Amino acid sequence: MNQVSHNSLVSFIWKIADDCLRDIYVRGKYRDVILPMVVLRRLDTLLEPTKDAVLEEVRYQKEDEGALELDEEPLKEASGYVFYNTSHWTLKKLHGTATNNQQILLANIEDYLDGFSDNVKEIIRRFKLFDQMRHMADKQVLLEVIENFVSPYINLTPHNTEDPEGNTLPGLSNLGMGYVFEELIRKFNEENNEEAGEHFTPREVIHLMTHLMFDPIKDRLPPLMTIYDPACGSGGMLTEAQNYIKDPEGLIKASGDVYLYGKEINDETYAICKSDMMIKGNNPENIRVGSTLSSDEFSAERFDFMLSNPPYGKSWSSEVKYIKEGKDVIDPRFQVELADYWGNKETVDATPRSSDGQLLFLMEMVNKMKPAGTSPLGSRIASVHNGSSLFTGDAGSGESNIRRYIIENDMLDTIIQLPNNLFYNTGITTYIWLLTNAKPEARKGRVQLIDANLLYRKLRKNLGDKNCEFAPEHIETITNAYLDFAPIEREIDANNDPLGIAVQVFENDDFGYYKVTIERPDRRRAGFSAERIAPLRFDKALREPMEWLWEAHSDKVYEPGFLKGEAKAIAAWCEEQGMTLNAKQRGKLTDTRHWLKLRDLHDAATALMEQVGTQETDDFNAFREIVTKTLKAQKIKLTAGEKTALLNAVSWYDEQAHKVIDKRYPLSKEGVRGLTERYGCTEEALSDFGYYLQDDGSYLTYESATDLRDAESVPLKDSIHRYFQAEVKPHVKEAWINLDSVKIGYEISFNKYFYRHKPLRSLDEVTRDILELEEKADGLIADILGVEVATKLESVE
């Protein structure tokens, strides 16, 4: 079907909505009728030629065989498809025999719909088609809608027909049917202002993805191929991939069978996809409905090829309960095994933040890859993402763990930056990720980045947010750059503006970095005072409401049951202050035992103050020792947490104070050698890792000041110790490396890799432009500055 007839058909169908449904549905609901009717009419036209054969098979099974239940397989064989209809009705017969009695028409339609095979009935149910039929019958427009869909002026059959004027109406191929579906969906989405993650992928982007997916292995395709899309929508990627492989005039010479698999959460698009699979002779049972993230529908399957444009920027909070239990990941698809800095392997979280689940779909596909050991080509993945997948999440986060797992296992092949405004309902920058677990030798250990954001041609008319598209030559340029796997320097025009495509090739570990904590010693001044120990009476997390209760009721808060009676007053005060407390916090506020425990700590601090005094000291180590001895002498028992809370209350950071000692280590030679081997340094450099040699041969470690703690990102190819000595120690003499804190992260920054500095224009050029503009402004600037324009221009020259 050519583009003109395709557009004419879409316009005709769109006109049905405007003509018949305008006063019955709001515009945003037109799709609820039009899309299922297009599907129904298409299925109807396909079954019309074999209707008599199917009815004969029904008669044979019931009368000659006496079957109580119909055997599906002979009915499918009679219809020529994986679906059938045993009713004597067709849409044309329904229209041709209809009267003005809408209820009779509705009863006949129900009989017609009930005659479909179960796979079509499920589609009808997902579309809620009979409910729509009933509503249209109630509004007296059902017959009119059917009349338009069986009109001789449109052709939804696969064969050429003629309209009443003798004009040829081209047949609608399965591919053409896909175009009609997607164009209608696009128009309806545009009407409804669908969110960015709910759009279908432009056809030219899918063409590019199929080239990237199949061209590198076009001569080595297996005899049986499986293709999977975990967010298949209306099935565009699946069918386009199949069309590309099976195109008799294409580059691919595949003789094997292609099996399509997909899952879709939206009932409507699932119904469209499943009907499309049936129409094209694919197994509709391989298309499943539901959330890919909530249930692993294809847990036993592994696929050769996977293409997807998963939703991005969309929350998966409603599905967290299926993936995580508290902080623990319970779905193995979203766990990965990684080694820590010391080489110890551990199973870690591979889930992104709950506000954006796109990387979960990528992990679903990674989980479904065929091992290269059992399949020579392994599996190949092409997935569309926005920019957050490249860099969101710090080292150790779920997002970073996903990138790290993919890169360290040498699966990431290429990432391609696409032009902005290439998609219909979003203008953000998008990227195609290409993964494989069977890289050719030349690509092993390396990743290719392609910046194609300048390759596009403008549309004459915007389609939603889409204002540009790939031309065939752009797809060819990108594909060739991918296949060549060589750097390409971007061209520059006369104005020093970039043109064309740019390519860079990196080693895998170029994207990795160590996130290491840099510590500085805590220096504390200390001294008791009534003001400093007063807050010990209150829970640090509930200080404001506890202070309010104490000021209002004093010692009454310690009376059993008193605070329970103040629960409503407490709730009202918190609401007035804009404070939100959880059940546990509310319970603590009214728990007399909790108040008494805090009072005991305050009393202990008061007793200590009486014994130790209120003199301040800059040696916290000595102060702590005195407090410890006094507690023992006074037989005051405190837990370790209570003692820490007390000491923190009466001490504060002072950069002039003594360093706070953590531990003292009387190390043997073997102990020192163990440290140097662990940290990979000399004895003299142990201080860089927090071990300080003393005159008596022992080593001290100091407590770190949390407020002064910092973090550095060190490239994987660099040495943490070298980086520290060169970049940190010259500026912070007391700092040391907390090597136990090291986390490994990965991120990919297109802006950093492809940024090209554009030199500023000379001052003379800028001045001349300003003065020429000023001259056009009738000398306004000259009047203000008190200069002559002509004189100024001459001086510039």
Instruction: Count how many domains the chain has.
Output: 4
Evaluate if residue 575 carries a pLDDT over 50. Answer: yes
CB 653 within 8 A of CB 705: yes
Asked if 460 and 539 sit in the same domain, the reply is no
Its domain, for residue 126, covers 3-189
Model confidence over 552-565: pLDDT tens digits? 999 999 999 899 99
The confidence score (pLDDT) of residue 526 equals: 97
Asked if 464 and 559 sit in the same domain, the reply is no
Residue with more model confidence, 31 or 85: 85
Is residue 692 one of the residues assigned to a domain? no
pTM across the whole model = 0.85
As a residue count, the chain comes to 797
Residue with more model confidence, 330 or 179: 330
Evaluate if residue 293 carries a pLDDT over 80. Answer: yes
The confidence score (pLDDT) of residue 103 equals: 84
Local confidence band at 728 (pLDDT 50, 70, 90 cut-offs): very high
Tokens of 285: 């049972």
Residue with more model confidence, 283 or 337: 337
Evaluate if residue 197 carries a pLDDT over 50. Answer: no
Local confidence band at 191 (pLDDT 50, 70, 90 cut-offs): low
Evaluate if residue 39 carries a pLDDT over 80. Answer: yes
CB 334 within 8 A of CB 350: yes
The confidence score (pLDDT) of residue 198 equals: 47
Is residue 690 one of the residues assigned to a domain? no
Is residue 447 one of the residues assigned to a domain? yes
Evaluate if residue 7 carries a pLDDT over 90. Answer: no
Mean pLDDT for the chain overall:
89
Q: What's the mean pLDDT in 449-469?
A: 87
Q: What's the mean pLDDT in 534-548?
A: 93
Last residue of a domain, one of 506, 539, 567: 506
Asked if 565 and 609 sit in the same domain, the reply is yes
Asked if 77 and 224 sit in the same domain, the reply is no
| CATH number, domain containing residue 286 | 3.40.50.150
Evaluate if residue 337 carries a pLDDT over 90. Answer: yes
Asked if 147 and 232 sit in the same domain, the reply is no
Q: Is 691 exposed, middle or buried (0-12, 13-18, 19+ CB in 10 A)?
A: buried
The confidence score (pLDDT) of residue 249 equals: 60
The confidence score (pLDDT) of residue 765 equals: 80
Asked if 403 and 545 sit in the same domain, the reply is no
The confidence score (pLDDT) of residue 684 equals: 94
Q: What's the mean pLDDT in 148-164?
A: 88
The confidence score (pLDDT) of residue 196 equals: 37
CB 301 within 8 A of CB 230: no
Asked if 253 and 182 sit in the same domain, the reply is no
Residue with more model confidence, 464 or 306: 306
Asked if 483 and 533 sit in the same domain, the reply is no
Asked if 552 and 495 sit in the same domain, the reply is no
307 vs 38, 435, 523, CA distance in Å? 26, 10, 57
Q: What's the mean pLDDT in 67-72?
A: 86
Tokens 């221009």 belong to 793
Asked if 300 and 377 sit in the same domain, the reply is yes
Asked if 148 and 258 sit in the same domain, the reply is no
Q: What's the mean pLDDT in 450-464?
A: 88
Please state, for a pLDDT cut of 70, what percent of the chain lies above it: 93
Is residue 338 one of the residues assigned to a domain? no
Q: Is the dihedral of CA 244, 247, 252, 257 positive or negative?
A: positive
CB 310 within 8 A of CB 383: yes
Q: What's the mean pLDDT in 157-164?
A: 87
Q: What's the mean pLDDT in 153-175?
A: 85
Evaluate if residue 194 carries a pLDDT over 90. Answer: no
What residues pair up with 651 in beta bridges, in sequence order? 526
Last residue of a domain, one of 189, 214, 239: 189
Last residue of a domain, one of 139, 172, 189: 189
Is residue 388 one of the residues assigned to a domain? yes
Q: What's the mean pLDDT in 470-487?
A: 95
Q: What's the mean pLDDT in 578-607?
A: 93
Q: What's the mean pLDDT in 674-684?
A: 94
Tokens of 237: 């990627």
Is residue 601 one of the residues assigned to a domain? yes
The confidence score (pLDDT) of residue 245 equals: 87
Tokens 């000398």 belong to 779
Is residue 377 one of the residues assigned to a domain? yes
Tokens of 243: 């069309």
CB 149 within 8 A of CB 41: yes
Residue with more model confidence, 277 or 302: 302
Local confidence band at 467 (pLDDT 50, 70, 90 cut-offs): confident
CB 379 within 8 A of CB 302: yes
Asked if 298 and 433 sit in the same domain, the reply is yes
Q: What's the mean pLDDT in 313-335?
A: 92
- 35 HSE (CA, 13 A, CB side): 31
Give the C-alpha separation, 14 to 2, whole Å: 18
Is residue 150 one of the residues assigned to a domain? yes
Lowest mean pLDDT across 185-199, 637-651, 683-697, 721-735: 185-199
CB 437 within 8 A of CB 407: no
